[in-house]
Amino acid sequence: MLSQFEPLYARRAFPCFDEPGWKTPWRLTIDAPADDVVVSNTPQLNAAPAPGRRGWTRHEFAPTKPLPSYLVALAVGPFEVVDGGTAGANKTRLRYIALKGRGAETRWAAEVTPRLLELLEDYFGTPYPFAKLDALAIPQTVSFGAMENVGLITYASSILLATPREETAEFRRRYAAISAHEMAHMWFGDLVTLAWWDDVWLNEAFATWMADKVLARYRPEWASGWSVHYARSRALELDRLASARRIRNPVLEKNDVPNAFDSITYQKGAAVLAMFENWFGPEAFREGVRGYLKRHALGNATAEDFIRALGAASGRGAEAIAVFRGFIEQPGVPLVDVALDCAKEPALALRQQRLRPVGSAAPELRWTTPACVRYGGATQCADIQNGATRLKLDAPACPAWLLANAGGKSYYVPRYESALGARLRSQAAELSADEMVAATIDARVLAESGLLPLADAFAWADSALAHASFVARLEAIELLDELRDPWLTESEAGAKREVIAQRVRPLAAMLGWEEASADSDDLRELRARLLPYAAKTEEDGKLRAQAGTLALAWLANREAVSATMTSAVLDTAARFADAETYAKLEGAALAAADLRERHYLLAALAKTRDEKLRSRAFGLMLRNDVNGRDADDLLYNALADDANRRAGFDFLRANYDALAAKLPQSSLAWLLAPLGELCTREERKLFADFFVERAKGLYGGPRHYQQSLERIDLCIAARNHS
């Protein structure tokens, strides 16, 4: 038994004031079978036979510090406890907890966690604020990956546990990032707790931003493009919508709570914090954070309290604080048009407005945007207002090229005048990984929104594929994949084919499916994304056949395919499988006891393109020997696949009641997100007719429905525009 009480579930376990503003000490006493391990937020004080229950033990835990109900946690089961020693100023006791027989799989967590804790203590200027810290693996989670319970952080097992073979570079970086995020919550969220759910961004945006800072100190190479790659596109995709919510968003009814846990809170919030850390100055910003924690320790606080603390530490006036509010208290992202204007002196002609896709009904908004540009060896910053602005450059002559988002992490989207964009692409080797990744993401989002010619977007992909950064090349593949062929005119399709022919196929042929011992971690991760895309777009079927052979070899011997490539190989093999190969993959999926392997196989089966085999794969969702979590895995992956999305939607509509009864609670609302990729008027009508009423009954459903419908409308408008 394991608990997950955030946001509104503690009331299901015990009577309580189940709101974050109510903080009180808790003392847990738990009776459990004597052979089970029992853990909670605090150290155990006593264990003795449970009165009147033979073979049971009563576990008494120390009182907690004041906590809201959503941070109370307990776990009971056949666990193996791995002692992690101590770390930090107070020599905090660390432990790693997994199901029996899997304790050795916590190896990486035990190596990295102590140092991450020390780095967090260093930034906050105070020791870890609680008595102990356990990390516990949950076999399966639904709709969350980890949870910052005081003293007992819970993780999906795929995040915390890995065999030596599965301990890939991606696994190591992912655990470190998530662990740093969850541990940052011990100060920001647990020691100081939001007063109400409208300030959930104070928890999540700050922890996301803090994790990026910690990882940059722990492994500088992990700061090269990765955080921008994961975060920027997710935030911009939502924030370009008229239905986008603001970071600090009112929570007035039940459905507002799950909606607060999205990319606006996590990724946009973190990007805005990074931008204003630079604006206020890193030292002043840190002093503001420390002052906020000291003032509100063991209590509750609001965004107002946080903003006041930043203002006090930075010495900035009310006007400066208003600039910060402009990004957290209204939705949307600034679009800054950029052109060189050197007729009289070196200068930039800028125009700022809200990024509104073609067909958008979003109202105009106003920002004062802290922007930094880079040209030659100089970086110049200015505060940009809405409308037209002329920025004089501190340069002796008109620069040969100019980057309008120096560092690549500020939260606005530059749109370059055509000649300036071409000049910048010609100097792409001068851009850092963060800058190249951000520019490529911006090009994709603008092109998807009908605000940038698709030929220009493909030119950005070409430059990114030639860049030294492996992460930039990954982002180029995302751009090519997301700008789908049915949208393209013949000339646009030709431009895309040229990039694939000149960049993608030669690189894929050079790398191949199999890793070499000398490969860097970045190269391994690039291969895992590049090869499946190359196989989807190839003309001779060679890569597809190789993937099929490797998949069958993997079924016979897991060592035949590296862990980094397993999902890539299985996806490609299943996508183009014949009946015999499909049957073997299906049999392996149904028999798989390892949850990671089962997920890989089910996700692969959901992508099969043969119509008869696809119907067979979809039919698995309704079988009695396929549980609801696995059915959800199949359905989500089918809906997220461009080739199978419509067929998956048809299956969902035809079997909705049976699926709704089987799938995990709240998962149906999340399934609306990939349906936002539908892009025809017929599909729009089917989506609206089917979900307009049903979405109202789903937890978080109304907003998911609204945003997915808007994304469909924008896709249709952009296609017509092009």
Question: Of 55-64, 303-312, 410-419, which gets the smallest average pLDDT?
Answer: 303-312
Tell me the mean pLDDT in the region 628-651. Answer: 96
Mean pLDDT for the chain overall: 94
Q: Exposed/middle/buried for 690, CB within 10 Å: 0-12, 13-18, 19+?
A: middle
Paired residues of 24 in beta bridges = 67
What's the pLDDT at 577?
97
For the segment 89-113, what is each residue's pLDDT rounded down to a tens digit? 999 999 999 999 999 999 999 999 9
CATH 1.10.10.10 fits 193-328, yes or no: no
For the segment 256-282, what is each residue's pLDDT rounded down to a tens digit? 787 777 889 889 999 999 988 988 899
For the segment 340-365, what is each residue's pLDDT rounded down to a tens digit? 999 999 999 999 999 999 999 999 99
| For residue 411, pLDDT beyond 80 | yes
- Reported pTM: 0.93
Q: Which of 576, 527, 586, 511 is nearest to 555 (CA)?
A: 586
**Tokens of residue 232, six digits:** 């920027």
Question: Of 243-257, 546-560, 639-653, which gets the smallest average pLDDT?
Answer: 243-257
Contact 162, 171 (CB under 8 A): yes
Phi, psi of 673 (to 5 degrees): -60, -55
Which residue type occupies 248? Answer: R
Residue partners of 606: CB distance under 8 A and separation at least 6 = 617, 633, 634, 635, 636, 637, 638, 641, 644, 648
Tell me the mean pLDDT in the region 213-238. Answer: 89
d(CA 639, CA 657): 18
Tell me the mean pLDDT in the region 1-6. Answer: 90
Tell me the mean pLDDT in the region 457-473. Answer: 97
| For residue 721, pLDDT beyond 60 | no
Identify the residue whose tokens are 């189940």: 18
Q: What is the CATH number of domain 334-428?
A: 2.60.40.1910
What's the pLDDT at 722?
45
**Tokens of residue 685, six digits:** 């009508």
Residue partners of 204: CB distance under 8 A and separation at least 6 = 261, 265, 266, 269
Q: CA distances (Å), 112 to each of 106, 108, 121, 155, 335, in order?
A: 10, 6, 15, 15, 39
In DSSP notation, 306-341 reads HHHHHHHHHT--HHHHHHHHHHHSS---EEEEEEE-
For the segment 141-183, what is each residue's pLDDT rounded down to a tens digit? 766 789 999 999 999 999 999 999 999 999 999 999 999 999 9
Angle, alpha carbons 221-222-224 (nearest 5°): 70
For the segment 188-199, what is each residue's pLDDT rounded down to a tens digit? 999 999 999 999
Q: Which of 182, 204, 237, 525 does the annotation list as catalytic?
A: 182
d(CA 347, CA 331): 30
Q: Is 182 a catalytic residue?
A: yes
Check whether the bond before 7 is cis (ω within 30° of 0).
yes
- 161: DSSP letter: -
Angle, alpha carbons 302-307-312 (nearest 5°): 125
Q: What is the CATH number of domain 1-77?
A: 2.60.40.1730
Phi, psi of 218 (to 5 degrees): -70, -50
